[in-house]
Structure 1
Amino acid sequence: MPILSLLCCLRNTHNDHDDSSNGATTISAKTAAKKASAKPEPYSEQHARELFKTYEDPDSPGEIGPEGFEKLCTDMEISLEGALPLVLAWQMHATEMAKFKESEWMQGTGELRASNLHTLALALHDLEDLLLLDKPPVQPSGSVPKKKGATTSGAAEPYNRNKYYEYAADKNKAFRLLYNFCFALAKPPTSRNIDMDTASAFWSVLVAPKYPIMKDILEFINEKGSYKGVTKDLWSMMLDFCKTMQPDLSNYSTDEAWPSMLDDFVAWKKPAGAAQEGNVNVEDDN
């Protein structure tokens, strides 16, 4: 199930508003987007609060609901099919899928010093490049030697990149922070697990682009159709498995305590004879 489908499910369970209310919100959002894109402004707490009000649910004051969340992503030109909505939720300290409380929004935008759509989108794309696309990190403005005769104008950071530079110092740790956040975000308050459809949707946008073996695991899960829930332990070890395992599973060992679902995946992906031969070879080398 793609992330967009998850958001649509949430939106469809939300109370419908009358057409005039929806129309007004859409026009206001588009106007805010154009203004922000045309002329980025320095951070302002008042502007951050006004931006929140643009997407606020008229039936739930103090909250951006799924419809407002979708409009927000659309106005920032963030695809609902990818991982950026999850990165946005992470940076805003969201506690519910596709929802923001005003306090969460103000904390997140305050930390980033981003009170307009242009700046917020830039911060999210920077994190996508760093953690999901493995691009070289952005260098601090003061760390780049200036050419002779160059002026210092424009050297200021477009937003507060302090957290970004902390993430860049240890990208693996930062990605795991995002990854673990997503489990907490997806887990229903009354459950210890998340359902397999939700986990698969998150894995498809978070892990599969970085570790291609995840695509094979998702194919296996879809084909079997018998796995219904994901524990926190399975969620954590799935990332470890994808990070450490060779694409041909040549370094898989039955001595390692992988969750049974991953053992089942190996048996499905790798012929039993080949797996046994690999273990024998390792023992012979010793």
Structure 2
Amino acid sequence: MRRSSTRRTGVLLQPASGVAAAGTGNKAALREQEKIDTFFNQYADKTEDNCIGPDGIEALCEDLGVSPTDIKVLLLAWKLQAARQGYFSLEEWRKGLKAMRVDSLDKLKKALPALQQEVVSPYSFKDFYTFSFKYCLTEPRQKTLDLETACQMLDLVLGSRPHVGSFLHFLQEQSEYKAMNLDQWSAFLRFCDEIKSDLSNYDESQAWPLLLDNYVEWAKKRMQTLS
């Protein structure tokens, strides 16, 4: 009988310690969220509930020491999975900063370089690149970016990658295309990764968008003129 009683006592103690551990974990999570919310409220829009608007983001950028047009700001929007350009919702802020383990301005400053390292991975960069296009769609049912915006974003996101400068020159010089869709946008990243600088391995039969067929034709003529 004593052995049975001892075993029952042991069984009863286990969930009690588990509850205590869970309680400690919940308190820590609540403290973390309180800090994240306090950080959010420093920049939150006073006229729109649970949202950091353009003015707040500009103030955040100033405190971070970065320009609002810096790629680091776009990387932050990507990490938060911001649904609307120029706005961070409280839910986006909570999820994103929790994933980054950030709850203050100083921690966010230190975390930004890590975001740049994160997109070194081809998989992460592709996700960031696709997000960059969708983030600029500011109107309901909008499917394309005007060429001015597309060129600005390609320059910001792809920078000095092969073909970028020449492709931007082509887009600005031609008059047939007024906008760029997601298929064309996505294909250009693959084009940059796969096509040689002299375009010798470009194959029209591989179902590239017509925009890129036209670009290659233009670029080859330009190479001949410059040679």
Shorter chain as denominator, the TM-score bin is 0.7 to 0.9
Query: Which residue of 2 is the match for residue 269 of structure 1?
Result: 219
Say whether residues 1:207 and 2:158 are aligned partners. Answer: yes
Q: In structure 1, which of residues 222, 229, 245 is the aligned counterpart of residue 172 of structure 2?
A: 222
Q: In structure 1, which of residues 186, 190, 193 is the aligned counterpart of residue 144 of structure 2?
A: 193
Query: Which residue of 2 is the match for residue 102 of structure 1?
Result: 90
Provide structure 1 residue ranges, at least 5 long, that are not aligned to the other structure: 1-42, 135-170, 275-286
Provide structure 2 residue ranges, at least 5 long, that are not aligned to the other structure: 1-30
Letter in 2 for 1:252: Y
Aligned residue runs from structure 1 range 146-165, under 5 A: none
The answer on whether the counterparts of 2:118 and 2:124 sit within 8 Å (CA) in structure 1 is: no
Q: Greater share of helix residues, 1 or 2?
A: 2
Measure the CA separation in 2 of the matches of 1:261 and 1:89: 29
Say whether residues 1:65 and 2:72 are aligned partners. Answer: no
Query: Which residue of 1 is the match for residue 15 of structure 2?
Result: none
Measure the CA separation in 1 of the matches of 2:157 and 2:223: 33
Q: In structure 1, which of residues 241, 263, 267 is the aligned counterpart of residue 191 of structure 2?
A: 241
Query: Which residue of 2 is the match for residue 255 of structure 1?
Result: 205
1:59, CA displacement in angstroms? 1.4
Query: Which residue of 2 is the match for residue 120 of structure 1?
Result: 108
Measure the CA separation in 2 of the matches of 1:113 and 1:257: 43
> Which one scores higher on RCO, CA 8 angstroms, separation ≥ 6?
1
Measure the CA separation in 2 of the matches of 1:54 and 1:205: 28
Query: Which residue of 2 is the match for residue 129 of structure 1?
Result: 117
1:218, CA displacement in angstroms? 0.7
Q: Which moved more, 1:222-231 or 1:199-208?
A: 222-231
Measure the CA separation in 1 of the matches of 2:58 and 2:95: 20
> What's the RMSD between the two structures over aligned residues?
2.0
1:227, CA displacement in angstroms? 2.1
* TM-score after normalising by structure 2: 0.78
Deviation per CA, 1:124-145, whole angstroms, max 9, x where unpaired?
21121342xx5xxxxxxxxxxx
Q: Which moved more, 1:118-127 or 1:98-107?
A: 118-127
Partner of 1:249, secondary structure, is: coil
Q: Which stretches of structure 1, 4 residues or longer, exceed 3 Å deviation after superposition?
A: none
Say whether residues 1:84 and 2:72 are aligned partners. Answer: yes
Q: 1:44 to 1:237 in 2, by over 3 A?
A: same
Alignment length (residue pairs): 193
Deviation per CA, 1:152-195, whole angstroms, max 9, x where unpaired?
xxxxxxxxxxxxxxxxxxx1111111111122211233222222
Structure with greater Cα Rg = 2
